[in-house]
Amino acid sequence: MINVLKSYKELSSTVADIVEYQIQEEPLTKLILPTGSTPLGLYDELVNRELDWKHVITFNLDVYLMNVKHPESYQSYMKKNLFDRTNIYPDHCHFPFRPFSAFEDKITNSMGIDLCILGIGSNGHIAFNEPGSSFKSRTRVVNLSEQTIKDNSRFFDSIDDVPKQAITMGLGTIMESKRIILMANGNHKLNILNVAMNGEVTEDVPASILQNHNNVEVYYCD
């Protein structure tokens, strides 16, 4: 179930091939997109391929509860790394918003997500669904775990600057996607990836819910 690729370049281009094919086959594609360091190469690849994003609609997995203008907000990240470098319409780029039921309705009314790209946190989180999150969870405010705050402190001047809360799509929301791709980069992710994909399906390891989805691919490079 885990496809091992030779390099980060290959990881990025393999997933870019999937996104490119999806957009070419269905210009009105609905995507769920991740942030973090892992998808940066994917976004570079996609930008270089000069795809037509005119009809594409995106939903981001999660956002920190922080000033959206901050350079490390996920809104800033997406603008900088993808949106401002393509012809996507800003109105087509959605981030979780309140009321959360309206955000969820927006996804449902878009006739469903064609492709969801995920990363994985070192504690097995997907989006910001930390260990213990209900498999039925929907979009909501969450407290970040100490591990996640520590892991993500590399993007901030100090650990005290890392937001303590976020809004995340729920595991139930993510699982409604028609197709899911999980990307993981680095040896430090291998153990949790194995636990999630080959171990017990449990709310203690949020990514393990993916074993219950019938159209998931996992791509890893060390």
| Binding residues vs ligand GLP (CB under 6 A) | 34-38, 61-62, 119-121, 127-128, 148, 152
* 62 flagged as catalytic: yes
Position of tokens 């799509």?
169
Looking at beta carbons only, is 87 or 182 nearer to ligand GLP?
Answer: 182
Looking at beta carbons only, is 110 or 122 nearer to ligand GLP?
Answer: 122
**Residue from 130, 151, 152, 185 carrying the catalytic annotation:** 130
Q: Reduced to 3 DSSP states, what percent helix, strand and coil does the chain have, rounded to the nearest 5?
A: 40, 20, 40
* 123 flagged as catalytic: yes
Question: In the bound complex, what is the minimum distance in angstroms from residue 128's beta carbon to ligand GLP?
Answer: 5
Which letter, b or e, does each residue of 28-45 get, where b requires 16 or more Cβ atoms within 10 Å of its Cβ?
ebbbbbbbbebbbbbbbb
Looking at beta carbons only, is 36 or 104 nearer to ligand GLP?
Answer: 36
**Residue from 60, 125, 151, 185 carrying the catalytic annotation:** 125
Looking at beta carbons only, is 111 or 181 nearer to ligand GLP?
Answer: 181
Question: In the bound complex, what is the minimum distance in angstroms from residue 61's beta carbon to ligand GLP?
Answer: 5
Counting beta carbons within 10 angstroms of the beta carbon of residue 136, is it exposed (0 to 12), middle (13 to 18) or buried (19 or more)? exposed
* 125 flagged as catalytic: yes
Residue 124 backbone phi and psi in degrees, to 5: 90, 10
CB 182 within 8 A of CB 1: no
Rounded to whole angstroms, the Cα distance separating 210 from 218 reads: 10
Question: In the bound complex, what is the minimum distance in angstroms from residue 60's beta carbon to ligand GLP?
Answer: 9
Question: In the bound complex, what is the minimum distance in angstroms from residue 124's beta carbon to ligand GLP?
Answer: 10
Rounded to whole angstroms, the Cα distance separating 34 from 4 reads: 20
Which tokens go with 210?
């993916």
* 50 flagged as catalytic: no
**Residue from 45, 62, 104, 114 carrying the catalytic annotation:** 62
Give the residue numbers annotated as catalytic, written as ranges: 62, 123, 125, 130
